[in-house]
Amino acid sequence: MDIETIRLIVAALAISIGTIAPAISIGLIGSKGIESIGRNPEAASKIQTGMILSIAFAEAIAIYVLVVTLIILLVA
């Protein structure tokens, strides 16, 4: 295998694994947040604020993976 093929394989693995984990965590955060709001509707604003922050942090991980993947692909 040449170096270009290895770089493409590593980039594909990085982006696939790096987006699956945040996607699963965002799903879990959303489902638990909705479950919590269903159990305690009075605390919906506090739960929603924490849920949105957690989703933003999980999404930031996916953005970091995208940046690393672009570095792998573009740096010779």
Higher pLDDT, 23 or 1: 23
For the record, the structure tokens of 44 come out as 């919906």
Q: What is the pLDDT of residues 30-56, one digit of tens each?
A: 999 999 999 999 999 999 999 999 999
pLDDT-based confidence at residue 1 (cuts at 50, 70, 90): confident
The domain made up of 3-74 has a fold known as: F1FO ATP Synthase (1.20.20)
Report whether 55 contacts 30 (CB < 8 A).
Answer: yes
Give me the residue spans of the domains in the chain.
3-74
**What is the rounded (10 degree) CA torsion for 14, 63, 30, 16?**
-20
- CB atoms closer than 10 angstroms to residue 47: 19
Single pTM value for the model: 0.79
